[in-house]
């Protein structure tokens, strides 16, 4: 008898529970195809959206009704983490299932790219029949590299390859890979030529997403051809270059519905950017309903790291980190704990809130188990499919790990309710109890030497050496900059 993976039986049981039966034991009632009808998957990723920037996580002034409805219709996670506190390594973790101690890309810059033989979630899903598309920001391989989206499992792509290019909300070109027309290269946007503001790029991404759903809708002739859409918005990242020139890097066509608010203009713009993205998400969800795909599509929503303080904005104005301390570029919770919502009607119980700690690197094995795709070896992620389906999660992380390379070398890890941070090489660990001190205000390392010792032992084995991302010690007599989370930090060009 042909070997059938255990994950196949898990999926069979899930579908059988709602009246869909299939498989080797279905007898003569089996339809022509014995393959399960796998769900389509959409992962919507915001850029620099803080834990407290959306209503369902406590935001009071920025309107996000459609994201809030995602949470009301699905499961909202309060202990979920980004892959890193900056863009590229965070997205690397999402795509590869490796945390930043093992990932190929562990920081921004350096023209870093995924390896040719480094599997991504798109490649794994494509192998089991998924049509795959990336719309928006990539940041994991430049033009001509082995890690362009179309070489890493995406059938279709339109967006930015480079992170700095992605700052420009009115760019005059994007990169496009379209197997239908054969177009592969730079796509000019003539409406934005010469500095014009004819096309707002997030609007273009939304249109592309709606078209992707329309063009890849499974039908009676192609029932087992679901899709995976990675919709990677740049909202609400700042245009840093515009911010340096004008003091307002939050580019948006209109500050509606906040025009009459007595707020600084840059904060009106930020709020308008987030609400505009929320509206676009509403359009996408309506498209799923109109296409009769609502119940057969698993939708995720998240952000790549904590809120920025770039382009003139002050993250304290909207309390963008919520109850957390720190922002983008901090390894405190505000830099890495993020909104995360999963919605799949009939499978994920509506209106549930879950505080289980997990992270970007768990996304890949979760969806490979769901779909029956192969899970790559030597990854750090584990499947949280049981959690999504309301079943006991017996497999949990002993530790979650992050490292950051822009201020020398910094490390952080979580073990249960404990969180440890090292801001400088050879410096004592700081220890916090997140259950009683979510804001990480009180360092309790001196009171719990046995817990510190466990983290010290773990840090010795948590990472692999990398020539591109070595451990940089502080120069003799001088510590590399490591601002406290409450202070503003420079963003550079990423």
CATH number, position 227: 3.40.720.10
pLDDT at 223: 59
pLDDT at 37: 74
Does some domain include residue 443? no
pLDDT at 22: 25
Does some domain include residue 423? no
pLDDT at 109: 79
Does some domain include residue 284? yes
Using the predicted structure, report yes or no on whether residue 124 has a pLDDT greater than 70: yes
Neighbours of 439 (CB within 10 A): 17
User: Going by C-beta distance under 8 Å and a sequence separation of 6 or more, which residues neighbour residue 97?
Assistant: 121, 361, 362, 363, 364, 365, 375, 376, 379, 380, 381
CA 136, 337, 345, 298 dihedral sign is positive
The residue behind tokens 């308008």 is: 272
pLDDT at 494: 52
pLDDT at 83: 98
- Give the least confident one: 13-17, 298-302, 328-332, 388-392: 13-17
Query: What is the domain range of residue 294?
Result: 37-388
Does some domain include residue 145? yes
Does some domain include residue 275? yes
Report, as an integer, the average pLDDT of 323-331.
98
pLDDT at 394: 95
Burial class (CB in 10 A: 0-12, 13-18, 19+), 371: buried
Q: Are 78 and 168 in contact (CB under 8 A)?
A: no
pLDDT at 26: 27
Using the predicted structure, report yes or no on whether residue 149 has a pLDDT greater than 90: yes
Does some domain include residue 475? no
Report, as an integer, the average pLDDT of 298-315.
98
- Give the least confident one: 9-13, 85-89, 179-183, 435-439: 9-13
pTM, two decimal places:
0.90
pLDDT at 111: 78
Q: What angle do CA 265, 339, 293 make, to 5 degrees?
A: 105
Using the predicted structure, report yes or no on whether residue 31 has a pLDDT greater than 80: no
Question: Looking at the 3D structure of the chain, how many domains does it have?
Answer: 1
User: Going by C-beta distance under 8 Å and a sequence separation of 6 or more, which residues neighbour residue 216?
Assistant: 131, 133, 225, 227
Using the predicted structure, report yes or no on whether residue 13 has a pLDDT greater than 50: no
Report, as an integer, the average pLDDT of 314-325.
98
Does some domain include residue 407? no
**338 token code pair:** 């993020």
User: Going by C-beta distance under 8 Å and a sequence separation of 6 or more, which residues neighbour residue 426?
Assistant: 473
Report, as an integer, the average pLDDT of 138-166.
97
Does some domain include residue 107? yes
pLDDT at 29: 27
Question: Measured in whole angstroms, how far is the alpha carbon of residue 84 from the centre of its chain?
Answer: 10
């Amino acid at each position: 008898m042909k070997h059938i993976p255990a994950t196949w039986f898990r999926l069979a049981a899930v579908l059988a529970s709602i009246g869909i039966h299939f498989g080797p034991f279905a007898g003569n009632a089996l339809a022509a195809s014995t393959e399960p009808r796998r769900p389509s998957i959409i992962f919507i990723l915001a850029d620099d959206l803080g834990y407290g920037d959306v209503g369902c996580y406590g935001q009071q002034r920025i309107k996000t009704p459609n994201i809030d409805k995602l949470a009301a219709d699905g499961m909202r996670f309060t202990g979920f983490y980004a892959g890193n506190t900056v863009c590229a390594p965070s997205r690397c973790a999402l795509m590869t299932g490796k945390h930043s101690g093992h990932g190929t890309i562990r920081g921004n810059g350096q023209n870093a790219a995924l390896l040719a033989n480094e599997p991504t979630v798109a490649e794994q899903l494509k192998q089991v029949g998924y049509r795959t598309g990336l719309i928006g920001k990539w940041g994991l391989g430049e033009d001509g590299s082995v890690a362009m989206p179309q070489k890493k499992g995406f059938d279709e792509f339109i967006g930015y390859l480079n992170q700095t290019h992605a700052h420009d909300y009115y760019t005059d070109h994007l990169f496009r890979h379209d197997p239908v027309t054969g177009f592969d290269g730079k796509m000019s946007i003539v409406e934005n030529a010469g500095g014009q503001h004819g096309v707002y790029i997030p609007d273009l991404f939304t249109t592309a997403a709606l078209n992707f759903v329309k063009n890849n809708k499974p039908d009676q002739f192609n029932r087992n051809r679901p899709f995976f859409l990675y919709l990677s918005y740049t909202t609400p990242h700042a245009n840093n270059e515009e911010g340096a020139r004008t003091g307002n890097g939050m580019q948006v066509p209109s500050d509606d519905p906040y025009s009459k608010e007595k707020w600084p203009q840059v904060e009106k713009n930020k709020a308008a950017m987030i609400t505009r993205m929320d509206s676009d998400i509403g359009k996408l969800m309506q498209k799923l309903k109109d296409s009769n795909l609502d119940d057969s599509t698993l939708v995720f929503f998240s952000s790549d790291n904590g809120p920025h303080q770039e382009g003139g904005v002050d993250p304290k104005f909207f309390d963008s980190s919520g109850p957390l301390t720190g922002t983008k570029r901090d390894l405190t919770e505000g830099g890495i704990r993020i909104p995360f919502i999963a919605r799949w009607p009939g499978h994920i119980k509506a209106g549930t809130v879950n505080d289980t700690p997990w992270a970007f690197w768990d996304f890949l094995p979760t969806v490979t188990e769901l779909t029956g795709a192969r899970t790559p070896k030597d990854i750090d992620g584990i499947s949280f499919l049981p959690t999504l389906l309301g079943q006991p999660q017996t497999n949990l992380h002993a530790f979650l790990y992050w490292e950051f390379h822009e201020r020398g070398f910094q490390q952080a890890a979580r073990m249960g309710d404990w969180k440890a941070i090292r801001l400088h090489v050879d410096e004592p660990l700081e220890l916090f109890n997140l259950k009683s001190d979510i804001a990480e205000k009180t360092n309790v390392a001196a009171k719990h030497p046995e817990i510190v010792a466990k983290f010290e032992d773990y840090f010795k084995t948590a990472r692999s050496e990398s020539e591109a991302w070595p451990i940089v010690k502080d120069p003799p007599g001088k510590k590399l900059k490591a601002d406290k989370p409450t202070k503003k930090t420079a963003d550079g060009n990423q």
